[in-house]
Amino acid sequence: MEPAMEPTPGPCAEPAAAHAAALAIGQRHLIGYGTFVRVWGVLLILTALLVTVSKLQHESLSVWAMLTINPIKAGLVFYYFMHLKYEGALLKGMLFIALAALIVFVGLLFLDTSLR
């Protein structure tokens, strides 16, 4: 007969203890539901603004609205819903460099198409 093994606690077995341990080492990042609801509301308003601008039948205005509002929406999602707000400077810097490179390449694409 094999000896009985005691179950090992999973990652969520002691949420209060895990929370206390996180607070002890300075990892406090609790976001209330109100913040998420406000950010969601802002995302809905920005989406409604994009839909409204696209219905105006003005192509260049629609393109510029998409190129400015969508990165703002993505930034809100990264910052709050993906918890980038609590990441270190290294990860934020790497993301900034990647986005800056993307902006440069998109700018070069527009430069190429405008000179044809």
Determine, yes or no, domain membership for 85.
Answer: yes
Residue 26 and residue 23: Cα distance in Å, rounded? Answer: 5
**Which residues, 6 or more positions from 49, have their beta carbon under 8 angstroms from its beta carbon?**
65, 69
pTM assigned to the model: 0.61
Q: E-assigned strands of 6-68?
A: none
Closest CA to 65 of 88, 79, 48, 83: 48
1 is a domain residue: no
**Structural domain includes residue 83:** yes
Number of structural domains the chain divides into: 1
Give the residue numbers spanning the domain of 63: 31-114
Q: Is residue 104 part of a domain?
A: yes
Looking at the domain assignment, is residue 58 inside a domain? yes
Do the domain assignments include residue 43?
yes
User: How would you write the pLDDT of the chain (116 residues) with one tens digit per residue?
Assistant: 555 555 555 555 555 555 555 555 655 667 788 989 999 999 999 999 999 998 987 887 888 888 889 989 998 998 888 888 888 899 889 988 998 998 899 888 888 777 77
